Every structure is written in C-alpha cells, then in structure tokens.
Amino acid sequence: MKKNIALVAGGYSGESVISLRTAQTIRRNLDPARYDVYPVIITRTSWYYAPNEEASGIEIDKNDFSLTLEGRKITFDAAFIAVHGTPGEDGRLQGYFDMLGIPYTTCNAIVSALTFNKKFCNSVVKDFGVAGIARSEHLTKDYPYSIGAILENLKLPVFVKPAESGSSLGISKVKDVSELLPAIKKAFQEDNQVLIEEFIEGRELTIGVYRSGGNIEVLPPTEIKSQNEFFDYEAKYTQGVTEEITPAPVGDVVLEDLRKKAAYIYRHLHCRGVVRIDFILQRDTNRLFFLEVNTMPGQSEASIIPQQVRAAGLDLKTFYGQLLESVLTQAAG
C-alpha cells in the first residue's frame, strides 16, 4: 500500500524561497508508485496543502497535522521536511511532529536545535577532538561588549555571523577594525546572538552524510571556490559566482580524513537524514577545521547534495527513497 507523505516546505525565514526549490526537486524524485506526496507550505500565518505550489490552498489541521480533501480525512505516514531555517531546521517543527508521533526525515528536535546554533555546535564538536575549531567570541544582544576586548582575543580578519541563521544571511568578513562594529550590527539584525570567528585560510570542502538501512553513508565531497570574499548568499544562489567541484580534487589521505571526520561528527551528534558538514582544509598544514553542520541542506537540482548523490553513482529517486524508507522502517520497528 502506498504511503502518505507530507512534503513540508516554506518556513518563517528569508530562506523560504530556497525551501520551495528544494521541495520541487524532492517531489520530482519521490516514486509515485510508492508514495502519495502532499506538498504542505507553512508560513507564519497559514499552513496549507498546495498541490500545485499556489500561494493559497486547503488549511492543515494543526491539532493532528491532518488534511481534509473532498470530505476525506488524510493523515500522514511520515513528513519529508524541506524547510530551511526556522521552524524546520531549528527543532521546532521536529518537536511538533514528535508530540504527534509522526516520523520525519531530519535530525530530531534536540540535535536540530543544537546544530542550528553555530556557537553551541562548535563547543560540542570541539569536545570531540576530531577537527580544529577557529577561535571565536560569542555576543548576545542587549549585553555589553567591547570591540577592544574582542580584538585582544581574536586576530583580523574575522567572520561575523548570526549564531542562528542559514544561507549565509547576515555574515560579513572583516579585515579592518573600522568594519567590525557595522558587521556586528548587521548580524544582530538576523539574530539575537552573534559569533565572531577568526579566519582560517585554506580550501572550503563540504560533504554530505546520511543514514541508509542503519548504516552511515558518506557522499563524495565538494570543493567550493567563490569569486566573492566567501560563500555568501549571492555566491550560493547566483549562477556563475561560485565554482563547485564535485568530487573535490583532494588526495587520498585528505579524502579519507574528511570522510572519517564527517562520519564521526554525524554519529556522535546523533544526526538523522541527510546533512552537509562544512570544513576548511587549512593551507600549509592540511589540517581540517570544522565550520558547521547543515541539517537541511539545499537540494535544488544544481545544489551540492544532488551533485554529490550523482557523483556517488546514485540517482535522486533512489536516494530520496532510501531516506524515506529509513524513517518508515524505524517508525514501524
């Protein structure tokens, strides 16, 4: 019997447009012979079923996350979460589904909340001792901070970023002291917490990790080369600004180190579904520095995860089927 799958997209952040692109890719590649897929768009004012991705549709009953179509009540065997940012990547939606007993394709509520906060995630991964972590300062809105004290602890250049934000929104690279305060204010426009990290010079590598049939699988890595100062919003979503090389041209020793570290972090953070883990391969030392875990990576047709899936010799239909079946099997067991 076919399973009813809610494909949940949209969200409350500036990443909602990207989320819709991700959902389109997933929908095209979910096997219609195995799944009845119901696109559900969530906004701050409405959660609704949108069969053709319209701006409005049939409201979802949030009491049990059900849908009534032509007098028939539809409940869902699982939710395929495609929401970037809040509430789909910070644990809120996961907590809601946990309360209702509906299985879903991403990390659980606690892991999602932890990894969404870059400072908290860095602290945990640092304790693992498997990868370098850049020196940093953590600021909280409405608490005093001193530019002088920050510069005593950190050397320029630094990255200033919201602690909880995706798609590189609100991030600045600061090379001069005069740029630091404006960068902090910019980051505080996106979030109440700001992370200031020392710049690690090197190559940016990112690698997808997922669980299939109880096994942790690691995809071929990608090297990111941006024409901008860093992999910012424009670089991520404007064609031609960034070169993404999949698989990344790294030697066997670096590749094996990258795969082992990514799998270790995935396992010990208790991740689920597909995540993308970002690293910097430090110039001169070839030491891997951890950047962040993205628990709901972008998946438009040209995005990094689909690139890596194809480089692994898989097709997206098989890949998304594996993700869903892992969830459904775990729920049944």
Q: What pLDDT sits at residue 240?
A: 61
Q: Give the whole-angstrom CA distance, residue 171 versus residue 91.
A: 22
Sign, CA dihedral 91-87-309-126, equals negative
User: pLDDT of 53-84, one tens digit each?
Assistant: 666 789 999 999 999 999 999 999 999 999 99
Number of residues that make up the chain:
333
pLDDT (0 to 100) of residue 166: 56
**Which parts of the chain have pLDDT scores under 50?**
230-237
Q: Which two tokens stand for residue 208?
A: 């997808």
- CATH code of the region 3-105: 3.40.50.20
The dotted CATH code for 136-198 is 3.30.1490.20
- Write the DSSP symbol of residue 132: B
CA gap 111, 102 in Å, rounded: 17
pLDDT at 237: 46
pLDDT at res. 205: 98
The predicted pLDDT at position 267 comes to: 98
The pLDDT, as a whole number, for residue 104 is 98
Distance CA 196, CA 160 (A): 5
* Residue bearing tokens 């991705």: 53
Instruction: Given CATH 3.20.20.70, say whether it is the number of domain 113-132+201-332.
Output: no
d(CA 163, CA 18): 20
The pLDDT assigned to 301 comes to: 85
Backbone angles phi, psi at 311, to 5 degrees: -65, -25
Q: Both tokens of residue 284? A: 């001169």
Residues 76, 222: Cα–Cα separation, whole Å: 35
Task: Supply the pTM of this predicted model.
Answer: 0.91
Cα–Cα distance, 115 to 142 (Å, whole number): 24
pLDDT of 235: 46
pLDDT at 229: 59
Domain ranges in the chain with CATH number 3.30.470.20: 113-132+201-332
CA atoms within 13 A on the CB side of 155: 4
- Enter the tokens of residue 323: 């993700």
Residue 107, helix vs strand vs coil? coil
3-state secondary structure at position 44: coil
The span from the CA of 257 to the CA of 218, in Å, is 12
Give me the sign of the Cα torsion angle 97, 101, 106, 112.
positive
Q: What is the pLDDT of residue 284?
A: 92
